[in-house]
Amino acid sequence: MSASISGFSKLSKSKKIDWIVDTYFSNTEDAKRILKQYWNSNDKLQQLHDEFVENTITNYYLPLGVAPNFLINGKLYTIPMAIEESSVVAAASKSAKFWMDRGGFKAHVISTTKIGQVHFMYQGNPETLKNYFKHIKSQLIEAAKPITKNMEKRGGGIVDVELRDKTQDITGYYQLHAQFETQDAMGANFINSCLEQFAKTFKDEALNFDAFTAEESDIQIVMSILSNYVPDCLVRAEVSCKVEDLTDDKTISAEEFASKFIQAVNIAEVEPFRAVTHNKGIMNGIDAVVLATGNDFRAVEAGVHAYASRNGRYSSLSHAKIEHGIFTFWMEIPLALGTIGGLTGLHPLVKLSLELLHNPTAKELMQIVAVAGLAQNFAALRSLTTTGIQQGHMKMHLMNILNQFEATEAEKTTLVEYFKTQVVTHSAVVEAIHQLRIKNEK
């Protein structure tokens, strides 16, 4: 039976586990065993993991796979991917090999500006507020100098601050809309610190602005926070080749494949129900690399999907065309990433992943991540328009089903061989296991 508890955060990890298993689990010893078997045997490393978040009771592992043979701007990469979904790493690897023989992926960063906002309420004359902003703008930037000086040494800092009137949406609602350059840092703490300083200066100095009435000088700060929507932090990734070189599948001509592929992309551009699944496939590749490199995949997801809706309807992130006999497949997506700060300097596997990628700058990582997403999308569309998605996906899923039924190594060997020529479905695998076990019992 569930129960409430006071002071849970102050308990030791051991006491937290005791309360959890005693309160929620019938088999307390089994629950404790499962939680503790995922602890790291290295006490120092386990303490590091314990301190990443609050109320830690164990570690939750995801597989870290790699996809080799990615040729990006003429440089070969093996890309780390942290993900639990079967077929994603295999699909990315297959795409990488396919395009490596056709010139590889091209990628470039279009812009790297990040956004933060101070949201506030003001009930006075809009023109007086505009004059106040003109008066105070340079002082806002100057007051933030202690925060920005180190970032400025690295070539980053505050790009601009503007006043935005949002009173058509909410009565009395305005923003300080600020742009930032954070170089190789993700920059969340930097941006939020700057915004909070903006808010303090903006509110405090209003009391000294002669043009304000007493009521107008009472500016109400609602909140100061960065935005995860970064439409001006853009990266483009693309592949291209002659149409006749587009397929190595003997069952379909290159021209037919190109036509079906482009039609599939066009459908995702106009049909939101398809676009969501289409873009989810892109994010399979993107999230896996973002997670492996210690970046914030929730922020990336939110920003990317907002960008997919920027024209008023949710649409495909990727696009395809044929011009003068050349097939081109590309996408432009917003990616706010970092290679210093956060987990990048703490988590041993994150540091290893970044070293595996030749210790990229934030811009280089943006390109790598975008390419992983495009590769994943190409693999999915290639399957959908030829053999169908389930043939490859279910064969990769076969091992998960076998593990679910605790198949022995001998049973796995037999059944993997059997399903090389059979359609993999959950029911077919269950029946095959059942029949094999009956046969072995005789």
Residues 78 and 66: beta-carbon distance below 8 Å: yes
Regarding whether 336 and 287 lie in a shared domain, the answer is yes
Question: Both 263 and 153 in a single domain?
Answer: no
pLDDT attached to residue 393: 55
Look up the CATH number of the domain holding residue 364.
Answer: 3.90.770.10
Is 169 a catalytic site residue? no
Domain end residue (candidates: 227, 249, 268): 227
Q: Is 317 within a domain?
A: yes
Question: What was the pLDDT predicted at 410?
Answer: 86
Last residue of a domain, one of 172, 195, 227: 227
- Whether residue 11 is contained in a domain is answered as no
- Are 319 and 373 members of one domain? yes
Q: Are residues 346 and 410 in the same domain?
A: no
Q: 177 lies in a domain?
A: yes
Catalytic position from the list 94, 278, 347, 393: 393
Contact 286, 372 (CB under 8 A): yes
Among 52, 70, 113, residue whose Cα is nearest residue 303: 113
In a domain, 269, yes or no: yes
Looking at 343, 366, 387, the residue that finishes a domain is 387
Q: Active site residue: 16, 32, 260, 280, which one?
A: 280
Residue 240 and residue 359 in one domain? yes
CA distance 192 to 178: 11
Q: Is residue 13 part of a domain?
A: no
Q: Are residues 220 and 310 in the same domain?
A: no
Q: How far apart are CA 70 and CA 239, in angstroms?
A: 12
In a shared domain, residues 99 and 242: yes
Global confidence as pTM: 0.88
| pLDDT per position as a tens digit, 53-95 | 999 999 999 999 999 999 999 999 999 999 998 889 999 999 9
Count of CB atoms situated within 10 Å of the CB of 413: 11
Domains held by the chain: number: 4
Q: Do the beta carbons of residue 79 and residue 70 sit within 8 Å?
A: yes
Domain that holds residue 401: 393-441
Does residue 351 share a domain with residue 246? yes
Inside any domain, residue 129: yes
pLDDT for position 424 = 79
Containing 235, the helix (H) or strand (E) segment is strand 234-242
H or E segment at 239? Answer: strand 234-242
Q: What is the pLDDT, as a whole number, of residue 401? A: 85
Dist CA 194 CA 352 (whole Å): 31
pLDDT of residue 389: 57
Q: What is the 3-state secondary structure (H, E, C) of 49-104?
A: HHCCCCCCCCCCCCCEEEEEEEEECCEEEEEEEECCCCCHHHHHHHHHHHHHCCCC
Residues 398 and 381 in one domain: no
Asked whether residue 355 falls in the same domain as residue 337, the answer is yes
Report yes or no on 3 lying in a domain. Answer: no
Residue 397 annotated to the active site: no
Length of the chain: 442
Measured CA distances, 367 to 151, 161, 333 (Å): 23, 28, 10
At 311 the pLDDT is: 96
Is residue 375 domain-shared with residue 253, that is, in the same domain?
yes
Q: Are residues 345 and 311 in the same domain?
A: yes
Reply yes or no on whether 166 is catalytic: no
CA distance 365 to 363: 5
What was the pLDDT predicted at 426?
A: 80
**Selected catalytic residue, list 85, 152, 205, 232:** 85
Active-site residue flag, 280: yes
Computed over its alpha carbons, how large is the radius of gyration of the chain? 27
Q: What CATH number did the domain enclosing 194 receive?
A: 3.30.70.420
Distances (CA, A) of 275 to 267, 268, 309, 317, 332: 8, 4, 10, 8, 15
Low pLDDT (below 50) residues in the chain: none
Catalytic annotation, pick one of 296, 347, 363, 397:
296
* Distance in angstroms (rounded) separating the CA atoms of residues 292 and 38: 19
pLDDT of residue 255: 94
The answer to whether residue 290 is domain-embedded is yes
Angle of helix 254-270 relative to helix 362-384, nearest 10 degrees, comes to 110
pLDDT one-digit tens code per residue, 347-397: 999 999 999 999 999 999 999 999 999 999 999 999 999 876 555 556 667
